[in-house]
Amino acid sequence: MPAFPDPPSPQPPSAGRPVATPGPKSSTIGLWFRDLLISAAASVLIITFLYQPVRVEGTSMLPRLEDRDRLFINKFVYHIEAIERGDIVVFRYPKDPEKSYIKRVIALPGDRIYIVRGQVWLNDKPLREPYVPQAYRDTRSMPEMTVPEGCYFMMGDHRSISSDSREFGPVARDLIYGKAVFVYWPAKDAGVLR
C-alpha cells in the first residue's frame, strides 16, 4: 500500500509574522528604572564637569544680569579655551573663597590698566564698553597697574555699586571656575550672555 504524506496541519492566520506576546510587567518597570538611572548619571556628569546652574545675588551686573536671575555656567570651557576680555566669569572671592562672585573680565595678564573719572584705559587706549549704560557709570579713578601673570582684572557692569578688582585687586586664575553662558530664568531674560 502506497504511503501518503500526512496533510499539512492548518496554519494560524498570523503564520510567518511575529506575534507580540505581552511581557511581564516587571520587565517594563526594569526598563523604566534603567532609563531613569542613565538619565540621572548623565545629569550628574553634566553638572559636575560641564554646566552648573547658579543664581545671581546682587545687582552689580545690571543691566544684563538681575538679582535672582538663574543661569548656566560652563565649567569646562577654560580647560580648552583661554579666558578673554569681555567674558562674564564666576570666581571665588579672593578674600573669602567660600563666596562666589560674577564679574566681567576687563584686563588680561600683562595688560596695563588705569581709570580716569570712570573711563577705563587699557594699554593706553580708552576701552569701549557698550555693556555699561551711561546711567551705570561712575566717576572713580584708579592709578595705573600692570595685571600680574596668572591674574585677571574684573569689574561689574553696574560700576557705581560694584565691588570688584578696583577694591580687591586682580583675581588669580585658579579662583576662576566657570564662564556664564546662558540665562534660563526668568523667561523674559532668557538668552546667551555676551
Residue numbers annotated as active site: 60, 103
* C-alpha span between 65 and 183 (Å, rounded): 8
- Least Cα distance to 89 among 162, 180, 175, 174 occurs for 180
- Least Cα distance to 179 among 149, 154, 158, 144 occurs for 154
Are 142 and 31 in contact by the 8 Å Cβ rule? The answer is no
* C-alpha span between 62 and 136 (Å, rounded): 8
Are 55 and 68 in contact by the 8 Å Cβ rule? The answer is yes
